[in-house]
Amino acid sequence: MPDPIAEGCRAAAADQYTLVPAAYVVRLLDELEQTRTEQSAVHVQLMDARDRVTELETFMPGIGAGEPMPLSAFANWLHTADRGLSSHAIIGALTGRRTLPGRPVVVGIEWPLDAGDFWRCEQLLRAVPEAREHMLLIAELSPEWSALVAHWDDLAILDRPTLTDRIWELIETPRRNRRA
């Protein structure tokens, strides 16, 4: 939709008989464009803020007993750390959140599949020690999580190749049991 002010300025600039100097009209057009750019930037910021509020207000049904941990307990880790689906699953379960800041997808129950996944989770637990106290809640997410949580401390001391093999042994047991 054409902007009547901009169109009027352009017409005035093109009209050689007008009393308005062309340089003045060009300056007005530049200011109008700058205002639109600033409004667009503010609009984007407002949309981002709205999306953030929506993320923070979206909750999962609670698991286990007691109050969920506040999302603020994980703020530093969420802002700076290497994150993955399984570490997000831990935060989602402990906070009751279905979505996390900077993560447009719904948080699920994904468990670590290899040494890298496991170490992202372990780094989370080291960064937020109170989360480790609630690992039994994580075990409730799935049979795979239950198997991993039961052996977590033993897994944390293994080297990477051995760790990946052991993770697969542990998560395959519940899968075999479901197939049987």
pLDDT band at 35 (very low <50, low <70, confident <90, very high): confident
Q: Is the pLDDT higher at 174 or at 17?
A: 174
Find the mean pLDDT for residues 36-53. 63
Find the mean pLDDT for residues 123-152. 93
What per-residue confidence (pLDDT) applies to 54? 53
Which of 26-30, 47-51, 160-164 reaches the highest mean pLDDT? 160-164
What per-residue confidence (pLDDT) applies to 59? 46
Q: What is the DSSP string of 89-136?
A: HHHHHHH-BSSBTTB-SPP------SHHHHHHHHHHHHHSHHHHTTHH
Nearest in space to 73 (alpha carbons), one of 134, 139, 151: 134
pLDDT band at 40 (very low <50, low <70, confident <90, very high): low
Portion of the chain with pLDDT greater than 70, in percent: 69
CB contact at 8 A, 177 and 144: no
Find the mean pLDDT for residues 5-28. 66
Flag the least confident range among 32-36, 91-95, 119-123: 32-36
* Total count of residues recorded for the chain: 180
Cα(173)–Cα(142) distance, integer angstroms: 12
Structure tokens at 54: 């929506």
DSSP letter, residue 141: T
